[in-house]
Every structure is written in structure tokens, then in C-alpha cells.
């Protein structure tokens, strides 16, 4: 699971790069199809899977397809270093699922760990909002100061004192309006990204719970083959439906040259291989799997923030450490 988490951390970074250049649905359709093609060698063994297992895999695939779409939309419009720590909610879902569904023993200290994770998420979210709002205000102020200078220069031949006062009043009014508009745009963009990402995390963890039931019925090769096939079919269907609705195909020639899509497909297959193999062990705990998966957050936050040059990484790492502390307590 440690190897899986490390690989998936890089996969998330690759996915963001791919989604920045191409349509999210196209990216997911392509890398899931590439993953399926890489698994064609296991076709013979895959055909031996039972009908009941195929039904569960189909459900899981639909859930993951939706999860990947929501995650792709969020990553496309917002910072990876602010979104990825939110995936810690998977640990909380896995924690309660392990207690209620799988009847795994959980001590009182693990509930303290859950609280610490929540506190870390709240602090990160609040800090991220404050910093971004300050940035929006500074950018708006600089822009309107520039406008003041231009307007003043064009009116030197007029009554300077009167004109200057009018310009200042107009600029202040415009500045307040601009700041308000930018804040609204930021809040809407941020809220949309967080909403989609949280939905993605919830769906992903539901899929993870299903894995424990499915892996008792199929081999790793069977699971990967049918999973990638179903996800690719669902993704292409979604892309086709969007194309009909918008009356255009959301694909350009440049999209086919998006190298990050092809790399993502290969990396995903390798990572999932490790995860599904680990889940074949009947002694693996659901809560433990959820926690170990969060190692991918560390990789994606640090690597992603450096690659995309996202601000305030040091402070975010502090809050990430708080979240990881809670996760470690849950793991004990």
C-alpha cells in the first residue's frame, strides 16, 4: 500500500497537468482506455469472473468514473496543494465504515485522531481563504491605482484640483466594486472546486469499501481488467452525451498530443496493481488501507505545489502535518 500511495501521488500530479491542457472527460476516457489496453494480456483469465462479481465491479467502476470526473474538474480550476489535504476525509469515512460495517475494533484515541484531522482541515481551509482574499484585494488595488494614474495624466490641462478629487472618488468606487467582484469570483471558484473534490473523496472511499467485498471473489488481474474496461466505457459514454448536449465534440488535435494522458494511464495501472494485490490479503483492515492511502497526499501536495509553483507551501505543510498526526493516531 505504501508503494501504491507513492505512485498515486504522482498520478494525481500528472492528472492535473493533463486536465489543464485538455477536456476533463477526454482525459479520463483516454487514460482509462490506455490502462485497459495495457491489460489485454489478461483477457483469458478475466473471462472466468462470475456474473455477481462483474455486477459489483460495474457498480464500483461507475462510482470511480464519477469520482475521477469530479476530481478532474476540481484540479483543473484550483490548487492541488489546497485540495489534496481534503482527501483526509477518506480516512474518517473509512474509520466509521470499519467500525459499523466490518466491526473492526477502534479505541477512544482514534476518535481523538478523527477530531485532529477535522481541526487540520478547518485550519487549512481558513488559511487558504484568507490568503487568497488578500491576494485578490492587492491585485484589484494595483489595477485601479494604475487606472488613476492614466486618467490623471489625460486630464492635466483641466482644473487639476477638481479633476483629481473626482478621479479619486471614481477610482475608490471602482476599486471597491472590483474587489467585490473578484472576491465573488474567487469564492465561487473555490467553493465549486472544494464541493467537487469532497464529492470525489466520498465516492472514492465508497469504492474502497466495495473493494473488500469484490476482492474475495476475483483475482487481481480480473479486477483490473473489468474495472478499467467499465470505467473507460462509462467515461466515453459521458463524453458522448456532453458532445450531444453541446452539439460539438470537446476534443481538439492538440488533445491527442497531450503526453500526460498517456503517462497517467500507465502509472494508474501500475499503482492499482499494488493496491488490488494488497487487498487480496484477508487480514488487511479497511481503516488501515484508508490511512495508508493518504501517503499519496504528501507526495501530490509537495511535488504538485513545486511543479505548479503554488504559493504558501510551507504554511500548508504545517497544516498537513497536523492532519497526518491525526491519521497516525487513528492508525495506532
Q: Which helix (H) or strand (E) holds 105?
A: none
Average pLDDT over residues 290-319: 74
Dihedral over Cα of 81, 302, 131, 23: its sign: negative
Per-residue model confidence as pLDDT tens digits over 25-78: 999 999 999 999 999 998 999 999 999 999 999 999 999 999 999 999 999 988
Percentage of the chain exceeding pLDDT 70: 72
The DSSP secondary-structure symbol of 215 reads T
Distance between CA 129 and CA 122 in Å, rounded? 11
- Whole-number Cα distances in Å, 99 to 14, 52, 95, 167, 281: 34, 26, 6, 65, 19
- Residue 158 pLDDT more than 60? no
Q: What number of other Cβ atoms are within 10 A of residue 320's Cβ?
A: 21
Q: How confident is the model at residue 94 (pLDDT cuts 50, 70, 90)?
A: confident
- What percentage of the chain exceeds 90 in pLDDT? 27
CA distances from 35 to 160, 167, 225, 242, 280 (A): 69, 60, 9, 23, 21
DSSP secondary structure of 42-93: GHHHHTT--HHHHHHHHHHHHHHHHHHHHHHHHHHHS-HHHHGGGGGHHHHH
Across 107-145, b (16+ Cβ under 10 Å) vs e yields eeebeebbebbeebbeebbebbeeebbeebeeebeeebe
The alpha carbon of residue 143 and the mean position of all alpha carbons in its chain are separated, in whole angstroms, by 32
Can you point out the beta strands (E) in the chain? Answer: none
Q: How many residues does the chain have?
A: 332
pLDDT digits (tens, 9 = 90+) for 239-259: 999 989 888 888 888 899 999
**What is d(CA 126, CA 195) in angstroms, rounded to the nearest whole number?**
15
Question: Measured between alpha carbons, how far is 237 from 223 in angstroms, rounded to an integer?
Answer: 21
Read off the pTM: 0.76
Question: Quick one: cell of 72?
Answer: 478532474
Q: Is the pLDDT of residue 310 over 90?
A: no
The mean per-residue pLDDT over the stretch 5-21 comes to: 86
Highest mean pLDDT (candidates 9-13, 105-109, 120-124) = 9-13
Q: Name, in order, each residue with C-beta under 8 angstroms of 294's C-beta and a sequence gap of 6 or more.
A: 5, 87, 88, 90, 91, 324, 327
pLDDT at 102 over 70: no
Taking residues 9-14, report their average pLDDT.
86
Amino acid at each position: 500500500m505504501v508503494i501504491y500511495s507513492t505512485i498515486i501521488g504522482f498520478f494525481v500530479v500528472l492528472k492535473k497537468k493533463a486536465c489543464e491542457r485538455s477536456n476533463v472527460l477526454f482525459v479520463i476516457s483516454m487514460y482509462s482506455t490506455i490502462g485497459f489496453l495495457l491489460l489485454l494480456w489478461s483477457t483469458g483469465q478475466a473471462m472466468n469472473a462470475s456474473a455477481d462479481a462483474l455486477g459489483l465491479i460495474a457498480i464500483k467502476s461507475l462510482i470511480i468514473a464519477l469520482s475521477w470526473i469530479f476530481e478532474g474538474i476540481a484540479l483543473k480550476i484550483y490548487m492541488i496543494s489546497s485540495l489534496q489535504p481534503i482527501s483526509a476525509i477518506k480516512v474518517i469515512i473509512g474509520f466509521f465504515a470499519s467500525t459499523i460495517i466490518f466491526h473492526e475494533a477502534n479505541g477512544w484515541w482514534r476518535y481523538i485522531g478523527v477530531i485532529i484531522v477535522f481541526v487540520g482541515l478547518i485550519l487549512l481551509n481558513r488559511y487558504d481563504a484568507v490568503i487568497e482574499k488578500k491576494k485578490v484585494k492587492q491585485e484589484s488595488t494595483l489595477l485601479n491605482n494604475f487606472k488613476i494614474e492614466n486618467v490623471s495624466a489625460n486630464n492635466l490641462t483641466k482644473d487639476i484640483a477638481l479633476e483629481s478629487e473626482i478621479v479619486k472618488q471614481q477610482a475608490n468606487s471602482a476599486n471597491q466594486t472590483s474587489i467585490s467582484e473578484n472576491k465573488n469570483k474567487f469564492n465561487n471558484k473555490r467553493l465549486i472546486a472544494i464541493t467537487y473534490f469532497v464529492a470525489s473523496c466520498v465516492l472514492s472511499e465508497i469504492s474502497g469499501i466495495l473493494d473488500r467485498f469484490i476482492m474475495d471473489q476475483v483475482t487481481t488481474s480480473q479486477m483490473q481488467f473489468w474495472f478499467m474496461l467499465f470505467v473507460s466505457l462509462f467515461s466515453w459514454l459521458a463524453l458522448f452525451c456532453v458532445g450531444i448536449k453541446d452539439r460539438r465534440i470537446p476534443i481538439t488535435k492538440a488533445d491527442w498530443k497531450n503526453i500526460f494522458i498517456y503517462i497517467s494511464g500507465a502509472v494508474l495501472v501500475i499503482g492499482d496493481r499494488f493496491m488490488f494485490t494488497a487487498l487480496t490479503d484477508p487480514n488487511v483492515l479497511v481503516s488501515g488501507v484508508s490511512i495508508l492511502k493518504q501517503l499519496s497526499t504528501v507526495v501530490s501536495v509537495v511535488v504538485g505545489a513545486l511543479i505548479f509553483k503554488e504559493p504558501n507551501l510551507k504554511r500548508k505543510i504545517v497544516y498537513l502535518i497536523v492532519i497526518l498526526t491525526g491519521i497516525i493516531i487513528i492508525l495506532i
